[in-house]
């Protein structure tokens, strides 16, 4: 596609400035929200009447002698996405946003959530609920201390509190005269009763050996070897995160939206393997695969999912030491293990081990990204043709991209809800459209699409930002500086065992140079047909140090309130760097293979090294994705790819013809006369 360079036609800028404006921000005051201060109170049709739920919950609280009950937005495994039957906070409040904590006392009910969800909460909650526009433990505890008298008991379900959450609440309530009480029977579940959606029961299946890096027996042996070498000599590892068990046994299912997991726990000891799960979901082939009909050290003993507390408590009575990762172990299991028998690290050995992909896993993930480039390119080509017609909106576009991905070999659905954001909506970093609320895509605005797929051989995540018209000079500068941040971090050479937090500034430096920044993290790990956000890899302070074989996203951005947003996200693998002098140094090799928008790149801002890197990346895309498009007879997409990956020149000549420039100016003048 021709790159318009207005520097050679500067006289048109003044002419067109009168006709091209900025989009106006949405006025949230016009949203249909509740008004609890009027008489009678006003509730929109979207609000949920929660009187019956709250009455029944308070009856349950009374039987437990509770003054308050805390309802978090988590499930028992700290999943990023939760199943329908775990959406307790949504059911009790009516508020369906993904983040927020509810607290019910005998006389009040409050919801705490962040600014992303304030309007949504006002639309969905009735006047039984107070909306508190802040988050964290301290505001909730301060409210509780005001509303509950000394001697009050504050109940919670320990299976829904992480170890960190419990410690935070417990510390804040110390010496307050109020007691934090662990109640193992979830009170919301008791009230929800038969209306609660059932637990998923789809089959748990074996991931074919073609798509796994090691057998489950090899993985179990590796973890046991780590147990033996640990200086505290743990006798068992307790796994609570669902991706840990799925990875360990090479099993998958569909209990969690966007994630191929199943509800489970694992207690791996030095002489036994216990898998806590719904046994009826295994067929005879899977039972044989797990050696479930024997009791040896390489036989998987299946126990019911609901028995995990009793089994852990019984095991903990012996001469044992239990190794856990506190980041994903809930307090409900943590409280059962005597402190002298606890070996606690931030992450379990399984979490750390699966973060480093072996050579086969790396090849699988690379292959999935080559194929994943095809639907993204198909979508970008389709948008280029259809957006000018005015027929495309954010939601329909996201649906089409999901459809394209679903047509790919080994596809198992999207890896998260597609972020399809046009104009000012893209300024919200994690905005996603709905069937009811979305904007039309326009050639006059920037468009951000952040999407990913689940494939049997890997998980993908990629973001591209495009503009089909004439971006402003500031938009091009901001985009190019985001691109520079992506390039600078991607080509960085660093010592082995360097923390991602140390490197993160390289992605921000070009923005910082001119006083710009972004407010989200720079990257996260990614799994092999597992989590799209796979910890503990990434650039956060809590991430582990970088090691060869880790995969991480690299995703700097910039967001201009009420106007536009930019994010450029690629997935990269950590590889050994070639250095002039001997030493153990690493760098990144980008595996995402979709070109950036040439229309938004100001080549004059790129250094020779950055330009060389970009052109080499484009050559790689041609070599790996081009044959894939040709093989499928996607000739239009192949031609588009060839144009988009033409080497960029530092001279960046004006490629817009005078005739097309005059046509634009003529249309602008005609519009003035209408």
Compute the distance between CA of residue 384 and CA of residue 599 in angstroms, rounded to an integer: 12
The closest of 549, 592, 541, 552 to 570, measured between CA atoms, is 592
Question: Which region, left, alpha or beta, applies to residue 255 given φ > 0 means left and ψ of -120 to 50 means alpha?
Answer: alpha
Q: What is the mean pLDDT of residues 309-325?
A: 98
The closest of 419, 438, 446, 422 to 430, measured between CA atoms, is 419
State the pLDDT confidence band at 674, using cuts at 50, 70 and 90: very low
State the pLDDT confidence band at 653, using cuts at 50, 70 and 90: very low
Q: What is the mean pLDDT of residues 298-310?
A: 98
pLDDT above 50 (res 666): no
Please report the pLDDT score of residue 32 as a whole number.
86
Element (H, E) at 236: strand 236-239
Please report the pLDDT score of residue 169 as a whole number.
97
Please report the pLDDT score of residue 429 as a whole number.
83
Compute the distance between CA of residue 594 and CA of residue 650 in angstroms, rounded to an integer: 21
Please report the pLDDT score of residue 201 as a whole number.
96
List residues bridging with 241 in a β-sheet.
none
Please say whether the beta carbons of 434 and 395 come within 8 A: yes
Q: What is the mean pLDDT of residues 149-171?
A: 97
pLDDT above 70 (res 663): no
What percentage of residues in the chain have a pLDDT greater than 70?
92
Report the chain's C-alpha Rg in angstroms. Answer: 27
Compute the distance between CA of residue 399 and CA of residue 430 in angstroms, rounded to an integer: 17
Element (H, E) at 524: strand 524-525
Please say whether the beta carbons of 287 and 239 come within 8 A: no
The interaxial angle of helices 473-490 and 505-512, nearest 10 deg, is 150
Q: What is the DSSP code string of 496-523?
A: TT--HHHHTHHHHHHHHTTT---SS-S-
Nearest-5° angle of CA 655, CA 491, CA 542?
A: 125
pLDDT digits (tens, 9 = 90+) for 510-564: 999 999 999 999 999 999 999 999 999 999 999 999 999 999 999 999 999 999 9
pLDDT above 50 (res 234): yes
Round the average pLDDT of the chain to a whole number and report it. Answer: 92
pLDDT digits (tens, 9 = 90+) for 556-604: 999 999 999 999 999 999 999 999 999 999 999 999 999 999 999 999 9
pLDDT above 60 (res 671): no
pLDDT above 60 (res 49): yes
Which of the given ranges, 21-30, 399-408, 643-652, has the highest pLDDT on average?
399-408
Q: What is the pTM of this model?
A: 0.90
Please report the pLDDT score of residue 430 as a whole number.
80
Compute the distance between CA of residue 408 and CA of residue 496 in angstroms, rounded to an integer: 36
Q: Distance of alpha carbon 176 from its chain centroid, rounded?
A: 37
Better pLDDT: 513 or 8: 513
pLDDT digits (tens, 9 = 90+) for 477-491: 999 999 999 999 999
Beta strands in 47-156 (DSSP E): 68-71, 101-105, 109-112, 130-132, 153-156
Compute the distance between CA of residue 374 and CA of residue 369 in angstroms, rounded to an integer: 9
Alpha helices in 454-575 (DSSP H): 473-490, 500-503, 505-512
Compute the distance between CA of residue 426 and CA of residue 408 in angstroms, rounded to an integer: 27
Please report the pLDDT score of residue 116 as a whole number.
83
Classify 626 as helix, strand or coil: helix
Nearest-5° angle of CA 376, CA 378, CA 382?
A: 115
Please report the pLDDT score of residue 58 as a whole number.
98
pLDDT above 50 (res 654): no
Q: What is the mean pLDDT of residues 413-432?
A: 93
Classify 662 as helix, strand or coil: helix
Q: What is the mean pLDDT of residues 110-129?
A: 93
Instruction: Give the pairing type, strands 534-538 and 494-495.
Output: unpaired
State the pLDDT confidence band at 31, using cuts at 50, 70 and 90: low
Element (H, E) at 587: strand 585-590
**Burial class of 174 by CB neighbour count within 10 A (0 to 12, 13 to 18, 19+):** exposed
- Both tokens assigned to 621: 């895309």
Element (H, E) at 559: strand 557-560
State the pLDDT confidence band at 416, using cuts at 50, 70 and 90: very high
Instruction: Give the pairing type, strands 68-71 and 101-105.
Output: antiparallel
Compute the distance between CA of residue 423 and CA of residue 444 in angstroms, rounded to an integer: 9
Compute the distance between CA of residue 96 and CA of residue 384 in angstroms, rounded to an integer: 34
Please say whether the beta carbons of 223 and 247 come within 8 A: no
Q: What is the mean pLDDT of residues 347-374?
A: 98
């Amino acid at each position: 596609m021709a790159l318009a360079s207005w520097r050679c036609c500067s006289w048109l800028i003044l002419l067109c400035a009168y006709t091209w404006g900025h989009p106006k921000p949405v006025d949230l005051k016009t949203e249909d929200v509740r008004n609890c201060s009027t008489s009678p109170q006003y509730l929109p049709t979207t609000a949920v009447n929660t009187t019956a739920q709250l009455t029944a919950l308070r009856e349950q609280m009374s039987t437990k002698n509770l003054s308050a009950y805390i309802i978090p937005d988590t499930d028992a495994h700290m999943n990023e996405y939760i199943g329908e039957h775990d959406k307790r906070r949504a059911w009790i409040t009516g508020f369906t946003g993904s983040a927020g904590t509810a607290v019910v006392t005998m006389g009040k009910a409050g919801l705490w959530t962040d600014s992303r969800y304030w309007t949504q909460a006002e639309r969905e909650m009735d006047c039984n609920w107070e909306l508190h526009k802040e988050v964290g433990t301290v505001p909730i505890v301060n409210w509780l201390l005001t509303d509950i008298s000394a001697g009050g008991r504050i109940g919670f379900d320990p299976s829904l509190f992480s170890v960190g959450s419990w410690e935070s609440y417990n510390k804040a309530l110390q010496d307050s005269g109020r007691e934090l009480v662990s109640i193992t029977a979830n009170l919301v579940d008791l009230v929800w009763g038969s209306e609660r959606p059932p637990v998923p029961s789809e089959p748990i299946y074996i991931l074919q050996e073609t798509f796994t890096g090691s057998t489950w027996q090899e993985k179990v042996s590796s973890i046991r070897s780590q147990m033996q070498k640990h200086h505290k000599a743990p006798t068992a590892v307790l796994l609570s995160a669902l991706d840990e068990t799925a990875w360990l046994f090479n099993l998958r299912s569909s209990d969690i939206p966007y994630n191929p997991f199943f509800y489970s726990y694992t207690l791996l000891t030095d002489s036994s393997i216990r898998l806590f799960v719904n046994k009826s979901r295994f067929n005879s082939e899977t039972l044989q695969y797990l050696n479930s009909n024997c009791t040896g050290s390489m036989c998987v003993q299946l126990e019911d999912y609901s028995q995990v507390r009793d089994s852990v408590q019984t095991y903990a009575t012996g001469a044992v030491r239990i190794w856990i990762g506190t980041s994903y172990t809930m307090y409900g299991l943590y409280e059962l293990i005597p402190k002298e028998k606890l070996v606690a690290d931030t992450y379990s050995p399984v979490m750390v081990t699966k973060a480093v992909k072996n050579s086969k896993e790396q090849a699988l993930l690379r292959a999935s990204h080559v194929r994943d480039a095809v639907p993204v390119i198909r979508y970008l080509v389709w948008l280029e043709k259809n957006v000018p017609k005015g027929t495309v909106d954010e939601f329909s576009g996201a649906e089409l991209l999901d459809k394209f991905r679903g047509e790919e070999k080994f596809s198992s659905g999207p890896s998260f809800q597609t972020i399809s954001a046009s104009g000012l909506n893209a300024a919200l970093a994690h905005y996603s459209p709905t069937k009811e609320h979305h904007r039309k895509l326009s050639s006059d605005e920037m468009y951000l699409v952040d999407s990913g797929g689940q494939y049997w051989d890997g998980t993908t995540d990629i973001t591209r930002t495009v503009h089909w018209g004439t971006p402003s000079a500031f938009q091009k500068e901001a985009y190019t500086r985001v691109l520079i941040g992506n390039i600078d971090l991607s080509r960085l050479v660093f010592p082995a065992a360097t923390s991602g937090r140390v490197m993160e500034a390289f992605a921000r430096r070009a923005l910082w140079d001119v006083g710009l920044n972004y407010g989200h993290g720079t990257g996260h790990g990614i799994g092999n047909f597992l989590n799209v956000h796979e910890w503990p890899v990434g650039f956060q302070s809590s991430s582990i140090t970088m090691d060869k074989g880790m995969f991480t996203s690299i995703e700097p951005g910039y967001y201009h309130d009420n106007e536009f947003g930019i994010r450029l996200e690629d997935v990269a693998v950590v590889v050994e760097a070639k250095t002039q002098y001997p030493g153990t140094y690493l760098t990144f090799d980008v595996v995402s293979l979709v070109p950036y928008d040439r229309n938004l790149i100001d080549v004059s801002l790129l250094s020779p090294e950055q330009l060389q890197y970009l052109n080499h990346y484009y050559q790689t895309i041609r070599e790996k994705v081009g044959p894939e498009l040709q093989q499928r007879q996607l000739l239009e997409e192949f031609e588009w790819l060839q144009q988009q990956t033409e080497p960029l020149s530092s001279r960046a000549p004006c490629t817009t013809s005078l005739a097309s420039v005059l046509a634009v100016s003529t249309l602008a003048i005609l519009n003035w006369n209408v």
